[in-house]
Chains A and B, each alone.
Chain A
Protein backbone atom coordinates (compact mmCIF):
# COMPACT_ATOMS: atom_id res chain seq x y z
CA UNK A 1 0.00 0.00 0.00
CA UNK A 2 1.21 3.43 -0.96
CA UNK A 3 -0.46 5.61 1.68
CA UNK A 4 0.99 4.45 5.03
CA UNK A 5 4.39 3.90 3.46
CA UNK A 6 4.71 7.47 2.18
CA UNK A 7 3.36 8.72 5.44
CA UNK A 8 5.99 6.88 7.38
CA UNK A 9 8.73 8.17 5.10
CA UNK A 10 7.51 11.75 5.53
CA UNK A 11 7.47 11.34 9.29
CA UNK A 12 10.95 9.91 9.14
CA UNK A 13 12.17 12.90 7.12
CA UNK A 14 10.45 15.35 9.47
CA UNK A 15 12.05 13.58 12.41
CA UNK A 16 15.55 13.89 10.99
CA UNK A 17 15.00 17.47 9.88
CA UNK A 18 14.02 18.37 13.44
CA UNK A 19 17.05 16.59 14.88
CA UNK A 20 19.27 18.19 12.25
CA UNK A 21 17.95 21.66 12.99
CA UNK A 22 18.57 21.14 16.68
CA UNK A 23 22.12 19.97 16.09
CA UNK A 24 22.88 22.96 13.85
CA UNK A 25 21.49 25.45 16.36
CA UNK A 26 23.33 23.81 19.23
CA UNK A 27 26.67 23.51 17.48
CA UNK A 28 26.76 26.74 15.51
CA UNK A 29 28.20 28.87 18.35
CA UNK A 30 30.96 26.30 18.77
CA UNK A 31 31.72 26.51 15.09
CA UNK A 32 31.83 30.31 15.29
CA UNK A 33 34.18 30.03 18.23
CA UNK A 34 36.53 27.92 16.16
CA UNK A 35 36.17 30.19 13.13
CA UNK A 36 37.00 33.39 14.95
CA UNK A 37 39.92 31.74 16.75
CA UNK A 38 41.67 31.05 13.45
CA UNK A 39 40.78 34.35 11.77
CA UNK A 40 43.68 36.80 11.57
CA UNK A 41 42.92 40.04 13.38
CA UNK A 42 43.23 41.98 10.15
CA UNK A 43 40.40 40.02 8.53
CA UNK A 44 38.07 39.98 11.54
CA UNK A 45 36.09 43.04 10.53
CA UNK A 46 37.15 43.49 6.93
CA UNK A 47 35.72 40.36 5.35
CA UNK A 48 32.10 40.78 6.29
CA UNK A 49 30.15 37.74 7.42
CA UNK A 50 31.81 34.64 6.00
CA UNK A 51 31.63 31.05 7.09
CA UNK A 52 35.37 30.60 6.92
CA UNK A 53 38.15 33.24 6.64
CA UNK A 54 40.20 33.41 3.44
CA UNK A 55 43.42 32.84 5.35
CA UNK A 56 43.84 30.88 8.56
CA UNK A 57 46.23 31.54 11.41
CA UNK A 58 47.19 29.86 14.66
CA UNK A 59 48.79 33.03 15.96
CA UNK A 60 46.08 33.54 18.56
CA UNK A 61 46.75 30.10 20.02
CA UNK A 62 50.48 30.70 20.15
CA UNK A 63 50.07 34.00 21.86
CA UNK A 64 47.54 32.65 24.39
CA UNK A 65 49.90 29.85 25.36
CA UNK A 66 53.15 31.89 25.26
CA UNK A 67 52.22 35.32 26.47
CA UNK A 68 49.31 34.95 28.87
CA UNK A 69 48.68 33.19 32.17
CA UNK A 70 46.26 30.83 30.54
CA UNK A 71 48.33 27.69 31.09
CA UNK A 72 48.15 28.48 34.81
CA UNK A 73 44.40 29.09 34.68
CA UNK A 74 44.00 25.79 32.92
CA UNK A 75 45.87 23.90 35.56
CA UNK A 76 43.84 25.65 38.25
CA UNK A 77 40.57 24.87 36.54
CA UNK A 78 41.55 21.27 35.99
CA UNK A 79 42.52 20.80 39.64
CA UNK A 80 39.34 22.43 40.89
CA UNK A 81 37.01 20.66 38.46
CA UNK A 82 38.49 17.20 38.80
CA UNK A 83 38.62 17.35 42.59
CA UNK A 84 35.09 18.72 42.74
CA UNK A 85 33.83 16.02 40.41
CA UNK A 86 35.41 13.21 42.40
CA UNK A 87 34.42 14.55 45.82
CA UNK A 88 30.88 15.36 44.79
CA UNK A 89 30.34 12.01 43.15
CA UNK A 90 31.65 10.12 46.17
CA UNK A 91 29.42 11.97 48.59
CA UNK A 92 26.44 12.01 46.24
CA UNK A 93 26.76 8.27 45.68
CA UNK A 94 26.58 7.66 49.43
CA UNK A 95 23.64 10.00 49.88
CA UNK A 96 21.85 8.73 46.78
CA UNK A 97 22.22 5.15 47.95
CA UNK A 98 20.76 6.00 51.34
CA UNK A 99 17.85 7.86 49.75
CA UNK A 100 17.20 4.96 47.45
CA UNK A 101 17.48 2.07 49.88
CA UNK A 102 16.79 3.16 53.43
CA UNK A 103 13.89 4.74 55.21
CA UNK A 104 15.10 6.82 58.11
CA UNK A 105 13.76 9.53 60.35
CA UNK A 106 14.00 13.00 58.84
CA UNK A 107 14.47 11.71 55.28
CA UNK A 108 11.59 13.81 54.04
CA UNK A 109 12.98 16.98 55.62
CA UNK A 110 16.50 16.25 54.47
CA UNK A 111 15.37 15.88 50.87
CA UNK A 112 13.26 19.01 51.22
CA UNK A 113 16.18 20.98 52.60
CA UNK A 114 18.41 19.87 49.77
CA UNK A 115 15.82 21.02 47.28
CA UNK A 116 15.48 24.38 49.02
CA UNK A 117 19.22 25.03 48.73
CA UNK A 118 18.81 24.74 44.97
CA UNK A 119 16.16 27.44 44.84
CA UNK A 120 18.26 30.48 45.76
CA UNK A 121 20.12 32.37 43.05
CA UNK A 122 23.85 32.15 43.68
CA UNK A 123 24.22 35.92 43.85
CA UNK A 124 22.25 35.97 47.08
CA UNK A 125 24.67 33.76 48.97
CA UNK A 126 27.93 35.15 47.67
CA UNK A 127 28.32 37.85 50.28
CA UNK A 128 27.70 35.54 53.26
CA UNK A 129 29.95 32.89 51.76
CA UNK A 130 32.70 35.44 51.33
CA UNK A 131 32.32 36.54 54.96
CA UNK A 132 32.53 32.92 56.09
CA UNK A 133 35.44 31.98 53.87
CA UNK A 134 37.67 34.97 54.41
CA UNK A 135 38.61 34.25 58.04
CA UNK A 136 39.06 30.57 57.21
CA UNK A 137 41.61 31.42 54.54
CA UNK A 138 39.41 29.95 51.87
CA UNK A 139 39.28 33.01 49.69
CA UNK A 140 41.95 33.36 47.03
CA UNK A 141 42.47 29.62 47.21
CA UNK A 142 41.54 26.68 45.04
CA UNK A 143 40.44 24.77 48.14
CA UNK A 144 37.75 27.35 48.79
CA UNK A 145 36.37 26.89 45.30
CA UNK A 146 36.42 23.12 45.65
CA UNK A 147 34.52 23.36 48.94
CA UNK A 148 31.81 25.64 47.61
CA UNK A 149 31.42 23.80 44.28
CA UNK A 150 31.20 20.46 46.03
CA UNK A 151 28.64 21.73 48.50
CA UNK A 152 26.61 23.39 45.82
CA UNK A 153 26.57 20.42 43.43
CA UNK A 154 25.87 17.68 45.95
CA UNK A 155 22.06 18.00 46.10
CA UNK A 156 21.48 17.62 42.39
CA UNK A 157 24.17 14.98 42.08
CA UNK A 158 22.66 13.03 44.98
CA UNK A 159 19.23 13.00 43.33
CA UNK A 160 20.85 11.96 40.08
CA UNK A 161 22.65 9.08 41.79
CA UNK A 162 19.50 8.11 43.63
CA UNK A 163 17.66 7.68 40.36
CA UNK A 164 20.41 5.38 39.14
CA UNK A 165 20.30 3.31 42.32
CA UNK A 166 16.52 3.16 42.06
CA UNK A 167 16.99 1.52 38.70
CA UNK A 168 18.90 -1.38 40.21
CA UNK A 169 16.62 -4.04 41.69
CA UNK A 170 16.99 -4.29 45.43
CA UNK A 171 16.83 -8.06 45.11
CA UNK A 172 20.28 -8.13 43.53
CA UNK A 173 21.81 -6.88 46.75
CA UNK A 174 19.62 -9.13 48.80
CA UNK A 175 20.72 -12.12 46.75
CA UNK A 176 24.34 -11.12 47.30
CA UNK A 177 23.79 -10.74 51.04
CA UNK A 178 22.22 -14.18 51.21
CA UNK A 179 25.15 -15.48 49.18
CA UNK A 180 27.39 -14.35 52.01
CA UNK A 181 28.26 -10.73 51.31
CA UNK A 182 27.99 -7.89 53.80
CA UNK A 183 25.86 -4.94 52.69
CA UNK A 184 29.01 -3.05 51.84
CA UNK A 185 30.35 -6.03 49.94
CA UNK A 186 27.09 -6.36 48.03
CA UNK A 187 27.23 -2.69 47.08
CA UNK A 188 30.84 -2.92 46.00
CA UNK A 189 30.60 -6.12 43.99
CA UNK A 190 27.07 -5.97 42.61
CA UNK A 191 25.67 -2.44 42.75
CA UNK A 192 28.79 -0.47 41.92
CA UNK A 193 29.58 -2.17 38.63
CA UNK A 194 25.97 -1.65 37.58
CA UNK A 195 25.98 2.02 38.59
CA UNK A 196 29.03 2.92 36.49
CA UNK A 197 26.88 4.77 33.92
CA UNK A 198 25.37 6.79 36.75
CA UNK A 199 28.73 7.53 38.28
CA UNK A 200 30.11 8.55 34.89
CA UNK A 201 27.15 10.84 34.26
CA UNK A 202 27.48 12.43 37.69
CA UNK A 203 31.21 12.91 37.26
CA UNK A 204 30.64 14.49 33.87
CA UNK A 205 27.89 16.75 35.06
CA UNK A 206 29.85 18.02 38.07
CA UNK A 207 33.05 18.42 36.12
CA UNK A 208 31.39 20.63 33.51
CA UNK A 209 29.52 22.59 36.13
CA UNK A 210 32.74 23.37 37.99
CA UNK A 211 34.69 23.96 34.80
CA UNK A 212 32.41 26.70 33.57
CA UNK A 213 31.49 28.31 36.90
CA UNK A 214 32.23 32.01 36.88
CA UNK A 215 30.48 33.81 39.71
CA UNK A 216 32.15 32.26 42.75
CA UNK A 217 35.49 32.07 41.00
CA UNK A 218 35.29 35.76 40.22
CA UNK A 219 34.09 36.95 43.63
CA UNK A 220 36.11 34.73 45.97
CA UNK A 221 39.46 34.76 44.19
CA UNK A 222 41.24 37.86 42.95
CA UNK A 223 44.87 36.74 42.91
CA UNK A 224 46.29 35.47 39.65
CA UNK A 225 47.55 32.18 41.17
CA UNK A 226 44.05 31.16 42.15
CA UNK A 227 42.25 32.27 39.00
CA UNK A 228 40.33 29.75 36.97
CA UNK A 229 39.86 29.75 33.25
CA UNK A 230 36.38 31.41 32.97
CA UNK A 231 37.63 34.36 35.02
CA UNK A 232 40.74 34.40 32.87
CA UNK A 233 38.61 34.75 29.76
CA UNK A 234 37.31 38.03 31.10
CA UNK A 235 40.82 39.48 31.03
CA UNK A 236 40.53 39.67 27.26
CA UNK A 237 37.81 42.20 27.71
CA UNK A 238 39.55 45.45 28.45
CA UNK A 239 37.96 48.80 28.95
CA UNK A 240 38.67 49.83 25.39
CA UNK A 241 38.50 46.72 23.29
CA UNK A 242 37.88 43.02 23.24
CA UNK A 243 40.56 40.76 21.86
CA UNK A 244 38.20 38.35 20.17
CA UNK A 245 40.82 36.25 18.46
CA UNK A 246 42.71 35.35 21.62
CA UNK A 247 39.56 34.99 23.64
CA UNK A 248 38.14 32.49 21.18
CA UNK A 249 41.43 30.60 20.97
CA UNK A 250 41.43 30.31 24.75
CA UNK A 251 37.83 29.16 24.57
CA UNK A 252 38.68 26.40 22.11
CA UNK A 253 41.57 25.31 24.32
CA UNK A 254 39.21 25.25 27.27
CA UNK A 255 37.01 22.77 25.49
CA UNK A 256 39.81 20.26 25.30
CA UNK A 257 39.82 19.04 28.92
CA UNK A 258 36.04 18.67 28.89
CA UNK A 259 36.21 16.66 25.69
CA UNK A 260 38.97 14.48 27.07
CA UNK A 261 37.02 13.95 30.26
CA UNK A 262 33.91 12.88 28.38
CA UNK A 263 35.95 10.61 26.14
CA UNK A 264 37.25 8.89 29.26
CA UNK A 265 33.82 8.33 30.75
CA UNK A 266 31.71 7.87 27.61
CA UNK A 267 32.36 4.13 27.60
CA UNK A 268 30.27 3.98 30.77
CA UNK A 269 27.63 6.41 29.62
CA UNK A 270 25.59 3.60 28.16
CA UNK A 271 22.55 2.15 29.79
CA UNK A 272 21.22 -1.36 29.67
CA UNK A 273 23.80 -2.84 32.00
CA UNK A 274 21.14 -4.45 34.17
CA UNK A 275 19.53 -6.35 31.31
CA UNK A 276 18.84 -9.92 32.31
CA UNK A 277 18.91 -9.37 36.05
CA UNK A 278 15.27 -10.00 36.57
CA UNK A 279 12.59 -11.72 34.50
CA UNK A 280 11.67 -10.38 31.14
Chain B
Protein backbone atom coordinates (compact mmCIF):
# COMPACT_ATOMS: atom_id res chain seq x y z
CA UNK B 1 0.00 0.00 0.00
CA UNK B 2 1.22 3.48 -0.85
CA UNK B 3 1.67 5.98 1.96
CA UNK B 4 0.31 8.89 -0.07
CA UNK B 5 -1.41 8.70 -3.43
CA UNK B 6 -2.33 11.77 -5.43
CA UNK B 7 -4.49 11.27 -8.49
CA UNK B 8 -5.37 13.90 -11.05
CA UNK B 9 -5.15 16.67 -8.50
CA UNK B 10 -5.91 20.15 -9.79
CA UNK B 11 -6.27 23.44 -7.98
CA UNK B 12 -7.79 26.67 -9.19
CA UNK B 13 -7.53 29.98 -7.42
CA UNK B 14 -10.34 31.89 -9.05
CA UNK B 15 -9.74 31.75 -12.78
CA UNK B 16 -6.11 30.68 -12.44
CA UNK B 17 -5.24 27.01 -12.50
CA UNK B 18 -2.10 26.59 -10.41
CA UNK B 19 -2.00 22.77 -10.34
CA UNK B 20 -2.85 21.12 -13.63
CA UNK B 21 -3.31 17.46 -12.88
CA UNK B 22 -0.80 15.98 -10.46
CA UNK B 23 -0.32 12.20 -10.22
CA UNK B 24 2.10 10.91 -7.64
CA UNK B 25 2.45 7.83 -5.46
CA UNK B 26 4.71 7.92 -2.43
CA UNK B 27 6.00 4.73 -0.81
CA UNK B 28 5.90 4.26 2.96
CA UNK B 29 9.10 5.57 4.54
CA UNK B 30 10.17 7.38 1.41
CA UNK B 31 11.76 10.84 1.49
CA UNK B 32 10.34 12.69 -1.49
CA UNK B 33 11.51 16.16 -2.42
CA UNK B 34 9.26 18.50 -4.42
CA UNK B 35 11.37 20.98 -6.30
CA UNK B 36 10.56 23.74 -8.71
CA UNK B 37 10.84 27.48 -9.20
CA UNK B 38 8.89 30.00 -7.11
CA UNK B 39 5.17 29.98 -7.82
CA UNK B 40 5.05 26.57 -9.48
CA UNK B 41 2.57 25.23 -6.92
CA UNK B 42 4.76 23.27 -4.51
CA UNK B 43 3.30 24.77 -1.36
CA UNK B 44 -0.20 24.45 -2.76
CA UNK B 45 0.30 20.73 -3.34
CA UNK B 46 1.71 20.29 0.16
CA UNK B 47 -1.18 22.22 1.69
CA UNK B 48 -3.63 20.03 -0.17
CA UNK B 49 -1.98 16.93 1.28
CA UNK B 50 -2.24 18.52 4.72
CA UNK B 51 -5.89 19.44 4.15
CA UNK B 52 -5.35 23.18 4.46
CA UNK B 53 -6.50 23.76 0.87
CA UNK B 54 -9.30 21.92 -0.95
CA UNK B 55 -8.76 20.15 -4.23
CA UNK B 56 -10.56 21.51 -7.25
CA UNK B 57 -10.64 18.02 -8.72
CA UNK B 58 -8.84 14.72 -8.26
CA UNK B 59 -8.17 12.85 -5.05
CA UNK B 60 -5.60 12.34 -2.32
CA UNK B 61 -5.30 9.19 -0.25
CA UNK B 62 -3.22 8.59 2.84
CA UNK B 63 -2.55 4.96 3.78
CA UNK B 64 -5.10 3.87 1.21
CA UNK B 65 -7.85 6.02 2.65
CA UNK B 66 -9.32 8.83 0.59
CA UNK B 67 -8.88 12.02 2.59
CA UNK B 68 -10.37 14.66 0.29
CA UNK B 69 -13.05 15.54 2.78
CA UNK B 70 -11.09 14.88 5.94
CA UNK B 71 -10.19 17.83 8.18
CA UNK B 72 -6.45 18.45 8.71
CA UNK B 73 -6.72 17.30 12.31
CA UNK B 74 -7.95 13.87 11.25
CA UNK B 75 -5.23 13.18 8.69
CA UNK B 76 -2.51 12.42 11.21
CA UNK B 77 0.24 14.27 9.42
CA UNK B 78 2.71 16.82 10.75
CA UNK B 79 3.89 19.88 8.92
CA UNK B 80 6.88 22.16 9.35
CA UNK B 81 6.15 25.59 7.92
CA UNK B 82 8.64 27.82 6.17
CA UNK B 83 7.90 30.50 8.75
CA UNK B 84 7.94 27.87 11.55
CA UNK B 85 4.57 29.13 12.84
CA UNK B 86 5.47 28.57 16.49
CA UNK B 87 2.79 29.49 19.01
CA UNK B 88 4.28 32.73 20.39
CA UNK B 89 2.50 32.67 23.73
CA UNK B 90 3.63 29.17 24.62
CA UNK B 91 7.04 27.94 25.72
CA UNK B 92 9.01 25.46 23.65
CA UNK B 93 7.55 22.75 25.85
CA UNK B 94 4.05 24.10 25.29
CA UNK B 95 4.59 24.20 21.56
CA UNK B 96 5.85 20.66 21.45
CA UNK B 97 3.21 19.17 23.70
CA UNK B 98 0.25 21.02 22.13
CA UNK B 99 -0.76 18.20 19.80
CA UNK B 100 -0.35 15.50 22.43
CA UNK B 101 -2.48 17.47 24.87
CA UNK B 102 -5.20 17.70 22.26
CA UNK B 103 -5.07 13.94 21.96
CA UNK B 104 -5.43 13.70 25.73
CA UNK B 105 -2.18 11.83 26.12
CA UNK B 106 -1.21 11.11 29.73
CA UNK B 107 1.04 13.83 31.08
CA UNK B 108 3.95 11.48 31.86
CA UNK B 109 3.86 10.22 28.30
CA UNK B 110 3.84 13.80 27.03
CA UNK B 111 6.79 14.65 29.24
CA UNK B 112 8.72 11.67 27.93
CA UNK B 113 7.91 12.34 24.28
CA UNK B 114 8.91 16.01 24.58
CA UNK B 115 12.11 15.14 26.41
CA UNK B 116 13.01 12.57 23.75
CA UNK B 117 12.38 14.93 20.88
CA UNK B 118 14.25 17.76 22.61
CA UNK B 119 17.14 15.44 23.21
CA UNK B 120 17.18 14.30 19.60
CA UNK B 121 17.27 17.89 18.39
CA UNK B 122 19.63 19.21 21.05
CA UNK B 123 17.20 21.78 22.46
CA UNK B 124 16.83 20.46 26.04
CA UNK B 125 18.16 23.68 27.51
CA UNK B 126 15.66 25.84 25.62
CA UNK B 127 12.60 23.97 26.75
CA UNK B 128 11.18 26.70 28.99
CA UNK B 129 11.80 29.63 26.66
CA UNK B 130 9.29 31.45 24.53
CA UNK B 131 9.82 31.49 20.75
CA UNK B 132 10.82 35.16 20.79
CA UNK B 133 13.80 34.25 22.94
CA UNK B 134 15.17 31.86 20.32
CA UNK B 135 17.41 32.33 17.31
CA UNK B 136 16.25 31.38 13.83
CA UNK B 137 18.02 28.04 13.89
CA UNK B 138 16.62 27.21 17.31
CA UNK B 139 13.10 28.08 16.19
CA UNK B 140 13.59 25.81 13.23
CA UNK B 141 14.49 22.97 15.58
CA UNK B 142 11.48 23.62 17.78
CA UNK B 143 9.28 23.49 14.69
CA UNK B 144 10.84 20.13 13.86
CA UNK B 145 10.38 19.02 17.44
CA UNK B 146 6.71 19.92 17.35
CA UNK B 147 6.36 17.64 14.35
CA UNK B 148 8.30 14.65 15.61
CA UNK B 149 6.75 14.32 19.07
CA UNK B 150 3.59 13.18 17.36
CA UNK B 151 4.86 10.16 15.44
CA UNK B 152 2.54 11.03 12.54
CA UNK B 153 1.86 9.00 9.41
CA UNK B 154 3.77 11.50 7.31
CA UNK B 155 5.88 14.63 7.64
CA UNK B 156 5.41 17.59 5.36
CA UNK B 157 8.16 20.19 5.15
CA UNK B 158 7.64 23.49 3.35
CA UNK B 159 11.08 24.99 2.72
CA UNK B 160 12.02 24.59 6.37
CA UNK B 161 15.62 25.71 5.86
CA UNK B 162 15.18 28.71 3.63
CA UNK B 163 15.49 31.23 6.46
CA UNK B 164 18.78 29.83 7.73
CA UNK B 165 22.30 30.80 6.76
CA UNK B 166 24.27 28.50 4.46
CA UNK B 167 26.25 26.90 7.25
CA UNK B 168 23.26 26.05 9.41
CA UNK B 169 21.36 24.87 6.37
CA UNK B 170 24.04 22.33 5.59
CA UNK B 171 23.97 21.07 9.15
CA UNK B 172 20.17 20.87 9.31
CA UNK B 173 20.08 19.06 5.99
CA UNK B 174 22.20 16.38 7.51
CA UNK B 175 20.16 16.28 10.70
CA UNK B 176 16.84 16.01 8.92
CA UNK B 177 18.19 13.11 6.90
CA UNK B 178 19.46 11.46 10.06
CA UNK B 179 16.10 11.97 11.73
CA UNK B 180 14.42 10.42 8.76
CA UNK B 181 16.74 7.44 8.92
CA UNK B 182 16.00 7.01 12.63
CA UNK B 183 12.25 7.56 12.49
CA UNK B 184 11.63 6.09 9.05
CA UNK B 185 8.51 8.18 8.48
CA UNK B 186 7.21 9.08 5.05
CA UNK B 187 8.30 12.62 4.27
CA UNK B 188 7.44 15.15 1.61
CA UNK B 189 9.91 18.00 1.50
CA UNK B 190 9.42 21.16 -0.55
CA UNK B 191 12.37 23.24 -1.64
CA UNK B 192 13.57 25.32 -4.53
CA UNK B 193 17.18 24.61 -3.68
CA UNK B 194 18.47 21.92 -5.99
CA UNK B 195 21.34 21.03 -3.65
CA UNK B 196 18.85 20.22 -0.89
CA UNK B 197 16.92 18.11 -3.36
CA UNK B 198 19.97 16.24 -4.61
CA UNK B 199 21.43 15.55 -1.19
CA UNK B 200 18.28 14.66 0.72
CA UNK B 201 15.86 12.94 -1.60
CA UNK B 202 15.15 9.30 -2.14
CA UNK B 203 13.13 10.55 -5.05
CA UNK B 204 12.84 14.01 -6.55
CA UNK B 205 9.64 15.36 -8.06
CA UNK B 206 10.51 18.27 -10.34
CA UNK B 207 7.60 20.63 -10.94
CA UNK B 208 7.10 23.62 -13.17
CA UNK B 209 3.99 25.60 -14.00
CA UNK B 210 1.72 23.30 -11.99
CA UNK B 211 2.85 20.18 -13.85
CA UNK B 212 5.19 17.41 -12.76
CA UNK B 213 8.14 17.46 -15.15
CA UNK B 214 9.98 14.36 -13.98
CA UNK B 215 10.05 11.94 -11.07
CA UNK B 216 13.11 9.91 -10.24
CA UNK B 217 16.16 9.43 -8.06
CA UNK B 218 18.50 12.42 -7.80
CA UNK B 219 21.04 10.86 -10.14
CA UNK B 220 18.38 9.92 -12.68
CA UNK B 221 17.28 13.52 -12.87
CA UNK B 222 20.86 14.67 -13.02
CA UNK B 223 22.04 12.22 -15.67
CA UNK B 224 18.91 11.67 -17.72
CA UNK B 225 16.77 14.80 -17.52
CA UNK B 226 13.45 14.31 -19.25
CA UNK B 227 13.37 17.82 -20.64
CA UNK B 228 15.21 21.11 -20.79
CA UNK B 229 13.48 22.43 -17.68
CA UNK B 230 14.84 19.63 -15.50
CA UNK B 231 18.20 19.79 -17.26
CA UNK B 232 18.51 23.47 -16.45
CA UNK B 233 17.08 23.32 -12.93
CA UNK B 234 19.11 20.46 -11.48
CA UNK B 235 22.85 20.88 -11.18
CA UNK B 236 25.10 23.85 -10.50
CA UNK B 237 26.72 25.19 -12.59
CA UNK B 238 23.76 24.47 -14.83
CA UNK B 239 23.87 22.14 -17.80
CA UNK B 240 25.10 23.78 -21.01
CA UNK B 241 22.36 24.26 -23.56
CA UNK B 242 23.44 24.90 -27.16
CA UNK B 243 21.76 24.76 -30.53
CA UNK B 244 23.16 22.25 -32.94
CA UNK B 245 22.12 20.58 -36.15
CA UNK B 246 22.16 17.07 -37.56
CA UNK B 247 23.73 16.87 -41.00
CA UNK B 248 23.73 13.91 -43.36
CA UNK B 249 27.19 13.01 -44.65
CA UNK B 250 28.74 9.99 -46.31
CA UNK B 251 29.67 8.50 -42.95
CA UNK B 252 26.15 8.80 -41.51
CA UNK B 253 24.35 11.59 -39.65
CA UNK B 254 26.67 13.94 -37.83
CA UNK B 255 25.80 16.18 -34.88
CA UNK B 256 27.35 19.51 -35.74
CA UNK B 257 28.00 22.46 -33.48
CA UNK B 258 28.96 25.21 -35.88
CA UNK B 259 31.63 23.65 -38.05
CA UNK B 260 32.71 21.00 -35.52
CA UNK B 261 31.39 17.49 -35.53
CA UNK B 262 30.67 16.27 -32.01
CA UNK B 263 29.17 12.84 -32.54
CA UNK B 264 27.28 10.55 -34.84
CA UNK B 265 23.53 10.32 -34.28
CA UNK B 266 20.76 8.13 -35.60
CA UNK B 267 19.60 8.36 -39.18
CA UNK B 268 16.15 9.62 -38.33
CA UNK B 269 17.45 13.02 -37.27
CA UNK B 270 18.71 13.98 -40.76
CA UNK B 271 18.49 17.71 -41.28
CA UNK B 272 16.89 18.40 -37.90
CA UNK B 273 17.90 21.27 -35.60
CA UNK B 274 18.30 20.09 -32.02
CA UNK B 275 19.13 21.52 -28.63
CA UNK B 276 22.17 19.93 -27.17
CA UNK B 277 22.75 19.61 -23.44
CA UNK B 278 26.00 18.75 -21.76
CA UNK B 279 27.09 19.01 -18.11
CA UNK B 280 29.97 21.45 -17.57
CA UNK B 281 32.08 18.79 -15.85
CA UNK B 282 31.70 16.56 -18.93
CA UNK B 283 33.32 19.15 -21.15
CA UNK B 284 37.01 18.28 -21.05
CA UNK B 285 40.19 20.11 -21.91
CA UNK B 286 41.98 18.75 -24.96
CA UNK B 287 45.01 19.41 -27.12
CA UNK B 288 45.05 21.46 -30.29
CA UNK B 289 45.08 18.47 -32.66
CA UNK B 290 42.15 16.52 -31.17
CA UNK B 291 39.98 19.33 -29.74
CA UNK B 292 37.55 22.02 -30.76
CA UNK B 293 38.81 25.57 -30.45
CA UNK B 294 36.97 27.92 -28.12
CA UNK B 295 37.68 31.37 -26.81
CA UNK B 296 38.01 31.71 -23.05
CA UNK B 297 35.75 34.54 -21.86
CA UNK B 298 35.99 34.29 -18.09
CA UNK B 299 37.58 32.06 -15.50
CA UNK B 300 35.89 31.51 -12.11
CA UNK B 301 37.86 29.64 -9.47
CA UNK B 302 35.44 28.06 -6.97
CA UNK B 303 38.03 26.49 -4.73
CA UNK B 304 36.72 23.03 -5.42
CA UNK B 305 37.54 23.53 -9.08
CA UNK B 306 37.42 26.01 -11.90
CA UNK B 307 34.51 27.15 -14.05
CA UNK B 308 35.63 28.37 -17.46
CA UNK B 309 33.15 30.32 -19.57
CA UNK B 310 33.84 29.73 -23.23
CA UNK B 311 32.67 31.24 -26.46
CA UNK B 312 32.19 28.50 -28.99
CA UNK B 313 31.15 29.83 -32.37
CA UNK B 314 29.00 32.54 -30.79
CA UNK B 315 27.40 30.28 -28.16
CA UNK B 316 28.30 30.27 -24.50
CA UNK B 317 29.59 27.08 -22.96
CA UNK B 318 30.74 26.37 -19.43
CA UNK B 319 33.47 23.95 -18.53
CA UNK B 320 34.09 22.70 -15.01
CA UNK B 321 37.22 20.95 -13.94
CA UNK B 322 38.68 20.08 -10.56
CA UNK B 323 42.16 20.35 -11.95
CA UNK B 324 43.59 23.82 -11.86
CA UNK B 325 44.59 24.56 -15.42
CA UNK B 326 46.77 27.62 -15.99
CA UNK B 327 44.49 29.44 -18.33
CA UNK B 328 43.36 33.02 -18.49
CA UNK B 329 40.65 35.02 -20.22
CA UNK B 330 41.22 35.88 -23.87
CA UNK B 331 43.15 32.68 -24.65
CA UNK B 332 41.99 30.10 -27.12
CA UNK B 333 41.71 26.66 -25.60
CA UNK B 334 40.67 23.28 -26.94
CA UNK B 335 37.90 21.08 -25.63
CA UNK B 336 36.34 17.72 -26.36
CA UNK B 337 33.16 15.95 -25.36
CA UNK B 338 32.28 12.25 -25.30
CA UNK B 339 29.26 11.30 -27.41
CA UNK B 340 27.84 9.46 -24.37
CA UNK B 341 27.70 12.67 -22.38
CA UNK B 342 25.54 14.48 -24.89
CA UNK B 343 21.79 14.81 -24.33
CA UNK B 344 19.58 15.98 -27.17
CA UNK B 345 16.31 17.87 -26.79
CA UNK B 346 13.64 19.04 -29.15
CA UNK B 347 14.20 22.82 -29.44
CA UNK B 348 10.49 23.50 -29.71
CA UNK B 349 9.02 21.35 -26.91
CA UNK B 350 12.16 20.98 -24.81
CA UNK B 351 11.49 17.25 -24.55
CA UNK B 352 14.38 14.80 -24.58
CA UNK B 353 14.97 13.08 -27.93
Residues of A within 8 A of B (CB): 169, 171-172, 174-182, 185, 189-190, 193-194, 273-280
Contact = CB atoms under 8 A, between A and B. Distances in A.
Interface string B122-146: 0000000011111010010000001
Contacts of B136: 279-280
29 contacts: A169-B85, A171-B85, A174-B50, A176-B98, A177-B51, A177-B73, A178-B51, A178-B78, A179-B78, A179-B146, A180-B73, A180-B102, A181-B73, A181-B102, A182-B71, A185-B102, A190-B87, A194-B89, A273-B88, A274-B88, A275-B131, A276-B86, A276-B130, A277-B84, A277-B86, A278-B83, A278-B85, A279-B82, A279-B136
A169 B88 CA distance: 11
Nearest to B83: A278
B79 A175 contact: yes
B161 to A, nearest CB: 11
A189 B101 CA distance: 12
A277 B86 CA distance: 5
A34 B115 CA distance: 60
Contacts of B98: 176, 179, 189
B85 to A, nearest CB: 4
Interface of B: 50-52, 71-73, 75, 77-79, 81-89, 98-99, 102-103, 130-134, 136, 139, 146, 150, 163
Contact of A277 (B51, B75, B85, B99): B85
- Residue of A177, A178, A193, A278 most packed against chain B (CB within 10 A): A178
Contacts, number: 89
Nearest to A172: B85
Contacts of A181: 73, 102
A176 B133 CA distance: 21
A275 B86 CA distance: 10
Interface core residue of B75, B132, B163 (most chain A CB under 10 Å): B132
A15 B136 CA distance: 36
B83 to A, nearest CB: 4
A171 B43 CA distance: 13
A169 B87 contact: no
Closest 7 CB pairs of A and B: A276-B132, A276-B131, A179-B99, A278-B83, A171-B85, A275-B132, A277-B88
Contact of A169 (B78, B83, B89, B133): B83
A280 B81 CA distance: 14
A178 B88 contact: no
Contacts of A274: 88
